[in-house]
A and B are shown apart, each in its own frame.
Chain A
Amino acid sequence: MTEIYIAKDKLPATIGKLMSEHRVYGPVFEGQYHEFVELKAGDEIDLAYQNTRLSPKGLFHPHSEKMCQFSLAKDDPEAGIMKEAPKDYSPRIILGIRPCDAKAFRLDDANFDTPTIKDPWWTQRRATTTLVGLGCNQPCRTCFCTSVGTGPFDPSGLDALLTDVGDGFMLQAVTDKGKRLLSSMSDGEPVPPAVGEEAAALKQSAEAQLGTQFEPKAIAEKDMLELFNASFWDEVQFSCINCGTCTFLCPTCWCFDIQDEVYEAQGDRIRIWDSCMFPLFTLHGSGHNPRNLKLQRVRQRFMHKLKYYQDKYQDGVACVGCGRCVKFCPVNIDIREVARLMSATCVCPA
């Protein structure tokens, strides 16, 4: 089955049935904002939400992840030897994820799932998770997905796509995983033709609203060293306070630190989100720091996202236009403005 219609009053029952067979995650409003939580009985999912504060990358690459564990007990013959940490890869469904965030996972795959090295936790979680996206009828003013190779109804990162047509949802399968999911859902109705038309119209209207705000291709075509040495970085970097807000909220930022944490006679080797914005990020043991200055760190982030990633993987920019960094940067550094500076025709020094 490739598409079904679910009336809104039937949705809670549908979700309940999915929950009986899978771990289901959906956007829930908690405190001040929405976040993806594993749904328990009684949780209220809000599919009228704009987007979660933190990107759902935490569902695959959590802030803190135990990598290995070890004993340090003096009488333990295995003391000091690293052991695997157990993980739960039981199947999950992420319900209502925005297409931009789902596309971001495809961009992150280039980093975690390479021909030679595979990150075990990222890849296994990706393999056992079904992404059911929710198209954006009403993009925000800070969204710019259409400028970076995705869109409000882009299926390319999803297994299935929901479109909110007012009284119900049209659910379309995108991948085989999605088709299997739809086949397992016995309570869907056939899609009325008017609904199909409504969905197409919503997509067109959302994409038109977003327009094109800059051209990543122009940045790809520029010489890397010319961009690196451009004079506009000095102006871009002044207000930055080098916090981790942009990197931690961003669905395509994946950098991490590795720390050993010991409690009495046992310990864990964990990985935790790290940020190229932090001065310690590139500090050598000798004391030398190639990115000692704030300008170098600010430049690194934008060059990585908009230029180095394009050069390395030929798969567009490492940005999906979710707009979180634009909304929450405490000093309003706007990646769209930086991208415009980077793609402008002349980067000659002032």
Chain B
Amino acid sequence: MNNPYLPYPVRVESIITETEDRNLKTIKLVFLNSEDEQKFQYTPGQFAELSVAGEGEIPIGIASSPTEKGFIKFTVNKVGKVSSYIHNMKAGDIMGVRGPLGNWYPWDLLEGKNLVIVGGGFAFTTLRSSIVYMLDPANRPRFGDITVVYGARFPGLLLYKEELAAWEQRDDIRMHITVDGTTDPNWKYNVGFVPAVTKQKAPESENSYAIICGPPIMIKFTLPVLTELGFPPERIISSLEMRMKCGIGICGRCNIGAEYVCKDGPVFTLEQLSRLPNEY
């Protein structure tokens, strides 16, 4: 019988430091068995459990897009036992991946729509997956205007800096990169908190969905901006974090009300969240 707790073995191909404070690293993983890669069919928005034998497992959003073949990427924040161990891993090391887990951004609903993506800090991982997915030539025609507001406290803390700069140059996506503040005289982009920049750029809410991922404080102040711009709760989408262990809705710990964040989420609309207890 299939054991959903058994991870696929993977090899670390590279691990690079994303941020100036060295707290975020992007790890690129390759499946040891090609049939495992076939089984790991994922959709942007999903996560996986990264497994290190002897240390444990952690639930991390998938940062790569399914349009990128031959590898999967995760950006890991160093907060505890397993993430610290992963940060110290080297190319060639063996670990495990279980997944893909969770639900995904509602791509069927997003067909033909405009998208406003708002991200803050290191919550940008599944948003990268989504942007790479949408910008792929096979997918771009399916979507309308794409507007992105992404900010961090200062330039060194932005993820995927080179890709951000490249997207900013494109004309099929409107990038608004911002930082809370900077002393860099060569900073080319915006300066201001994400909620303020979102309000300033005032993306169109007509025929639009908003996807928002970020620290609680950013979400708290951006939601009123989106609401004022005309986004109703059922068209504001968010991805939640929770302490998880099994990731498949069995160990019981990640519930909000009757929903498991790992199985019924982590993607929820604001409308769904408004019907759940405020315990997350």
Asked if A and B form a direct contact in the complex, defined as CB atoms under 8 angstroms apart, the reply is: yes
- Please give the residue numbers on chain A whose beta carbons come within 8 Å of chain B beta carbons, in ascending order: 67-68, 70, 72, 79-82, 84, 111-112, 114, 117-120, 123-124, 224-225, 228, 254-260, 262, 267, 269, 271, 274, 276, 281-288, 290-291, 296, 300, 303-304, 307-309, 311-312
Q: Does B225 contact A (CB under 8 A)?
A: no
**Interchain nearest-CB distance for A349 vs B (Å):** 16
B32 / chain A contacts, CB cutoff of 8 Å:
81
**B189 interfacial by beta-carbon distance below 8 Å:** no
Instruction: From B1, B58, B253, B279, name the one whose CB has the most chain A CB atoms within 10 angstroms.
Output: B253
State A112–B162 Cα separation when bound (angstroms).
Answer: 44
Interface size classification for chain B: 35 or more
A123–B1 Cα gap in the complex (Å)?
Answer: 10
User: A286 touching B279 by the CB < 8 A rule?
Assistant: no
Number of A-B contacts (CB under 8 A): 134
Q: How far is the CB of A312 from chain B (nearest CB, A)?
A: 4
Q: Contacts A81-B94, A225-B277 given; indicate if A282 touches B253 (C-beta within 8 A).
A: yes
CA distance A141 to B96 in the complex (A): 51
Is B252 a contact of A311 with CB atoms below 8 Å?
Answer: no
Which of B65-73, B134-142, B241-249 lies at the interface with chain A?
B241-249
Q: What secondary structure prevails in chain A residues at the interface with B?
A: mixed
Within the complex, the shortest CB–CB distance from A139 to chain B, in Å, comes to: 29
Docked CA distance A70–B72 (Å): 23
Which chain B residues lie closer than 8 Å to A262 at the CB level?
A: 54
Q: Which of A82, A117, A257 contacts B250 (CB 8 A)?
A: A117
| Pair A286/B3 contact, Cβ less than 8 Å | no
CB distance from B90 to the nearest CB of A (A): 13
10 residue pairs of the A-B complex, CB under 8 angstroms, read A70-B54, A80-B93, A224-B277, A257-B251, A258-B251, A259-B56, A282-B243, A291-B279, A308-B258, A312-B258
A120 to B277, CA, bound (A): 32
Given contacts A68-B6, A81-B94, A81-B96, contact A260 B53 (CB under 8 A): yes
Q: Kindly list 12 other residue pairs between chains A and B, CB separation below 8 angstroms, not including A81-B96, A112-B250.
A: A80-B52, A80-B93, A82-B6, A119-B250, A224-B276, A225-B275, A254-B250, A255-B251, A256-B252, A259-B56, A260-B56, A281-B243
Contacts of B253 in A (CB 8 A): 255, 274, 276, 281-282
When C-beta atoms are compared, the residue in chain B nearest to A296 turns out to be B279
Complex contacts, B3 vs chain A, CB 8 Å = 67-68, 84, 120
A290 touching B7, Cβ below 8 Å:
no
Give the CA-CA distance A309 to B259 in the complex, in Å.
Answer: 10
Contact A254 B4 (CB under 8 A): no
Bound together, the chains give a CA A267 to CA B54 distance in angstroms of 6
Bound together, the chains give a CA A48 to CA B240 distance in angstroms of 51
Scan residues 227-280 of chain B and give those whose CB is less than 8 A from a CB of chain A.
241-243, 245-246, 248-255, 257-258, 263, 275-277, 279-280
CB distance B251 to A256 under 8 Å? yes
A257 near B258 with CB under 8 A, answer no
Knowing A111-B252, A260-B54, the reply to whether A67 touches B5 (Cβ < 8 A) is yes
- In the assembled complex, the CB of A189 is this many whole angstroms from the nearest CB of chain B, namely 40
Partner of B58, one of A68, A285, A296, A312: A285
Please, how many angstroms separate the alpha-carbon atoms of A228 and B7 in the complex? 37
B185 contacts the other chain (CB 8 A)? no
Task: Report the bound CA distance from A67 to B261 in whole Å.
Answer: 23
Given A68-B5, A111-B252, A267:B57 Cβ within 8 A: no
Contact B9 A82 (CB under 8 A): yes
A254–B260 Cα distance when bound, in Å, is 14
The residues of B that contact A259 with a CB separation of less than 8 Å are 56
Closest CB of chain A to B52's CB: distance in Å? 8
B53 touches A258 (CB 8 A): no
Known: A284-B242, A290-B279, A308-B258. A82 touches B251 (CB 8 A): no
Nearest CB in chain B: distance from A84 CB, A: 6
- Enumerate chain B residues within 8 angstroms of A304, measured Cβ to Cβ: 255
Name the residue of chain B whose CB is nearest to the CB of A112: B250
Q: Which of chain A's residues have a CB closer than 8 A to the CB of B52?
A: 80, 260
Q: How far is B6's CA from A120's CA once the two chains are assembled, in angstroms?
A: 11
Residues of A within 8 A of B95 (CB): 80
CB distance from B51 to the nearest CB of A (A): 7
For A281, the chain B residues whose CB sits under 8 A away are 243, 253
